[in-house]
């Protein structure tokens, strides 16, 4: 498979990763504490 991304896709991917780190990860940590 070819994983090369266009510039547009690269920006979307970076934004998705940042969103995941900011929103999903803290929530996952909270769930683990319970």
State residue 28's pLDDT score: 83
State residue 6's pLDDT score: 92
State residue 1's pLDDT score: 62
What is the per-residue pLDDT across 1-34, written as a single tens digit (0 to 9) for each? Answer: 667 879 999 999 999 999 999 988 888 888 888 7
Q: pTM of the full predicted structure?
A: 0.54
State residue 13's pLDDT score: 92
Q: Which residues contact 5 (CB under 8 A, 6 or more apart)?
A: 13
Alpha helices in the chain (DSSP H): 7-19, 25-33
Question: 13: alpha, beta or left, given left = phi > 0 and alpha = psi -120 to 50?
Answer: alpha
């Amino acid at each position: 498979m070819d994983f090369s991304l266009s510039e547009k896709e690269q920006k979307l991917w970076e934004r998705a990763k940042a969103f995941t780190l900011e929103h999903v990860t803290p929530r996952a940590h909270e769930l683990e504490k319970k």
